[in-house]
């Protein structure tokens, strides 16, 4: 879905991730290669390298109760979208002088 909705399909893209098995499996890597997406991964076993992304994901999961999975795929997807929007647009961020 994300590949179909890219806003700048002519520009280069790099997918950066940790070394989770879902990102290292051959099927996932094949999708990236087939779409000319560069692959970048954290150093093995260093959680500090991706600390900002992990922190934001943790805040969103905790504050918007996204650990619950009883809602089904469609409802969960909508909850994630609305949570990210609220996090980016409505939630106060002290470091942004807002």
Q: Is the pLDDT of residue 1 over 60?
A: no
| Cα–Cα distance, 18 to 29 (Å, whole number) | 13
* Domain residue ranges in the chain: 14-45, 49-91
- pTM here is 0.48
Q: Is the pLDDT of residue 80 over 70?
A: yes
Q: Is the pLDDT of residue 98 over 60?
A: no
What are the beta bridge partners of residue 41? 17
Backbone phi, psi, residue 14, to 5°? -125, 130
Q: What is the mean pLDDT of the chain?
A: 79
| Nearest one of 82, 27, 75 to 60, comparing CA atoms | 82
pLDDT band at 26 (very low <50, low <70, confident <90, very high): very high
In b/e form, how buried is each residue of 17-56, taking b as 16+ CB within 10 angstroms?
bbeeeebeeeebeeebeeeeeeeeebeeeeeeebeeeeee
Q: What percent of the chain has pLDDT over 70?
A: 86
């Amino acid at each position: 879905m994300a590949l179909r909705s890219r806003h700048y399909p002519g520009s280069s893209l790099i997918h950066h991730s940790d070394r989770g098995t879902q990102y290292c499996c051959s099927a996932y890597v094949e999708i990236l290669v087939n779409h000319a997406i560069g692959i970048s991964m954290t150093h093995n076993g260093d959680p500090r390298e991706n600390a900002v992304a992990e922190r934001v994901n943790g805040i969103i999961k905790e504050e918007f109760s996204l650990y619950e999975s009883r809602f089904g795929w469609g409802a969960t997807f909508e909850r994630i979208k609305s949570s990210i929007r609220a996090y980016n647009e409505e939630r106060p961020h002290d470091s942004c002088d807002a």
